[in-house]
Amino acid sequence: MPTKAKTFIALAIVPGLMMLALGISHWESDDPVRFTIYLLLALIASTLKVRLPGLTGTMSLNFLFILIGVSQLSFSETLLLGAIATAMQCVWRVKVRPSIPQVLFNIASLTMAITSAHFIYHLPQIQQANGKIPVLLAMAACFFFLTNTVLVATVLSLVETKPFAKVWQQCYLWSFPYYLIGVGVAGLVNVSSYYVGWKAALLILPIMYLTYLHYRLYVERRVAGHDTNLSV
């Protein structure tokens, strides 16, 4: 691994893990049962992965529960949920076992993404200007997406010695539509929670699972088609 990549990873791990430790040290949980159920669902979602073409790494459904957590759970609960779910995604059924620095970087980058999303969602000025849940969730999702993809694209560009813009464009192109659908589902879950309760609102989640199956099939077909074109 290039020295620049190692340096960047180290510089990202330190503040990310500090944010994680500081956030969890101020533990708050208004509903431990809800947190436990969301955590278990996030762990299951972490096993539903899609490998993005041309990129090292995968994308899973756990971001959906992170977005829901930003609006329904405390900051400390969301951080812990994200960290555990990310660790599960890193080690579950992988061809090559990731190194400890790789896992720590993924946790650290997600911690920073959650922090930015939580900050913008709960910013008083924004809530006063427009306190509607779909708007707040969309803004939080954009900050989460940008923070996470910029950090990941930066380290991939350093490791693979590719231009940052090209790597980030690949991340954006393949993952942004998936995020948009996830934001829509998270919004439905949050709005429904106010009317029917959070348990009943979880009945909406199968929509995202069907989306995952469709998206995985789409990616596999695109990759297969690309490989066929190369071999002709």
* Interval 128-145: pLDDT, tens: 766 677 788 888 989 999
Question: How high is the pLDDT of residue 154?
Answer: 93
∠ Cα 173 185 67 (to 5°): 75
pLDDT value at 56 more than 70: no
Question: How high is the pLDDT of residue 183?
Answer: 87
Question: How high is the pLDDT of residue 65?
Answer: 94
Residue 19 phi/psi, 5° resolution? -60, -45
Partners of residue 51 on adjacent β-strands: 58
Asked if residues 46 and 1 have their Cβ atoms less than 8 Å apart, the reply is: no
Number of domains in the chain: 1
Q: Considering Cα of 55, then 58, then 62, then 66, what sign does the dihedral take? A: negative
Residue 2 phi/psi, 5° resolution? -60, 150
Give the CATH number of the domain where residue 164 resides.
1.10.1760.20
* Interval 176-229: pLDDT, tens: 888 888 888 998 998 899 899 999 999 999 988 998 998 888 878 876 765 433
Distance CA 191, CA 204 (A): 11
SS3 49: strand
Distance CA 224, CA 41 (A): 31
pLDDT value at 232 more than 70: no
Range(s) of the domain holding residue 130: 3-231
Asked if residues 67 and 117 have their Cβ atoms less than 8 Å apart, the reply is: yes
